[in-house]
Amino acid sequence: MPRRENNENTVSDSDVDAMQRRIRELEEERQDKEAMLRQSQRELQMEQRERAQAERQLADATNLPSGQRVRKRRRPVVESPPASGDEDEPPAEKRAHRDEYLPSADDRKTVADFGRKFAILYGMWFPGAGKSSKVDNVLLLAYDPHFDVTTRFKNDATKAQGQLHDIYELCEGEDLFRYRKDMWFRHDFNYGVRQQVSDTVSRLRGHCWEIFGSEFADHLRDPDERFAHFARRIGYQPATSTAGPCYSRIDCPFLHSSECETFDLDDVYTHDHLWLIFVAITRGPEAARQARISNGETKYTPPNPTKGEDLEITHTTAGAIAACVTFAKYTFSRDTELRAKGAATSINYKTEFDEHLAELLELQRDEVPHIMKLFEDWNYKVFGTKETHDRTHPVTAEERAKEERQRVRAQIRAKLNALRRSGQQGGGGSNAAGLGEEELREQQDDRDANDDE
């Protein structure tokens, strides 16, 4: 009999995993609700302060005799009504700032969703001097309809204008973009961005078993264990006699499906972990687990509306790929909080994100064949959509030769830019850019081909 009781009380491993998963989901829901409650309380307090200040200004202004000049000395004025909400609202005809737009609850939710969508598809930081990175640096700008997108990464001003164009694209068809300079718009948009980033970093480590599998998840809980198992994976370079330890931006196995330790333009951004992160963001951890098992063939849709459905995210962008790279590097690092610069690793996540985004946008504009195929693969594995670009399927020998020259040109340019930005002057050649003899010959052949054209 005791043996039977033991057998009856035995819980299978699958049941334990299911219970642990449910506990994590409940804990995440509790944290989300607490965060929303705290944010609502802060917003309520802010609105109460604004209302009290407006009512005081109105009471002070209506107490002055008509045509009398305001002087600095104190005058007897009517006391402002309390901000408790017990007093009646002032008459509509006396309301201050009559032309100022008063957003509805739906407007504020829409703007917060714009911020969440921006963090997923376009970026999570805004340009700023030094350590500052404020949404005001973007939203308070004047929109330039003639902005040259090729100059986007020239300086902080052009970066900000480029992000303003991204926000305009998000608001297309909406009348809310013209209110972007209002305090409520800036506050709600920034709240959406920060909340989405926080949700994502919590989800990636909290649901690492579903997203990455037990082989990686078993070592993601402790910072020291993450360094021991994944430091080289995210580009860690030990100290040498001439330089201290650092993290490379381009020589990272986690960027390549082959997990090669040196940068390969033909294989970069193809590792499964990158698009699985995008699946986890848009459709949830369980969808990422199903996609990981089936290599993107299974498109599991949770019973409840997903983040991607709520925000109408239907395709992959260059910013989404760059963001997934940043999220992946942070997830496997020793850092415990995603900031512009990692506290434990000194990885400059903000700078690396900008550099990845700049390269992806440039290669996308040039319609480099394997980069266009990369977007197609991500769209299929994440959203289940199939697209074909004519430029990726040349039909004549002349077109094939032209695209091969474009591929070589893009690869050399990307390597030059990467070496210049990261400050890594690689060996293997006598030239300052670190190119080998074969690449120099290809570069010269490319110039000759351009002359012929």
Domain-wise residue ranges, the chain:
105-201, 207-393
Least Cα distance to 152 among 141, 163, 168 occurs for: 163
Structure tokens given for 276: 């699985």
pLDDT of residue 443: 55
Residue 64 contacts residue 58 (beta carbons within 8 Å): no
pLDDT, greater one: 400 or 159: 159
pLDDT of residue 377: 94
300 Cα distance to chain centroid:
23
Supply the pLDDT for residue 72: 42
What pLDDT band is residue 428 in, cutting at 50, 70 and 90? very low
Whether 50 shows a pLDDT value over 90: the answer reads no
The whole-number pLDDT of residue 448 equals 55
How large is the average pLDDT for residues 388-405? 54
> Would the pLDDT of 308 be above 50?
yes
Q: What is the pLDDT of residues 323-360, one digit of tens each?
A: 999 999 999 999 999 999 999 999 999 999 999 999 99
**Cα(240)–Cα(18) distance, rounded to whole angstroms?**
47
pLDDT of 264 strictly over 50: yes
Other CB atoms within a 10 A radius of the CB of residue 353 amount to: 21
Q: pLDDT band for position 421 (50/70/90)? A: low
Q: Cα–Cα–Cα angle for 275, 281, 284, nearest 5°? A: 105
Nearest-5° angle of CA 311, CA 315, CA 320? 80
48/401: higher pLDDT: 48
Residues counted in the chain: 453
What pLDDT is stored for residue 17 in this prediction? 82
Instruction: Tell me the C-alpha distance between 78 and 83, whole Å.
Output: 15
* Ramachandran category for residue 81: left, alpha or beta (phi over 0 → left; psi -120 to 50 → alpha): beta
Task: Provide the pLDDT for residue 346.
Answer: 94
137-158 residue pLDDT tens: 999 999 999 999 999 999 999 9
Global model pTM greater than 0.85: no
In the beta sheet, which residues pair with residue 246?
Answer: 237
Res. 105: pLDDT tops 50:
yes
Please report the pLDDT score of residue 304 as a whole number: 86
Q: Does pLDDT of 423 surpass 80?
A: no
DSSP single-letter state for residue 176 = G
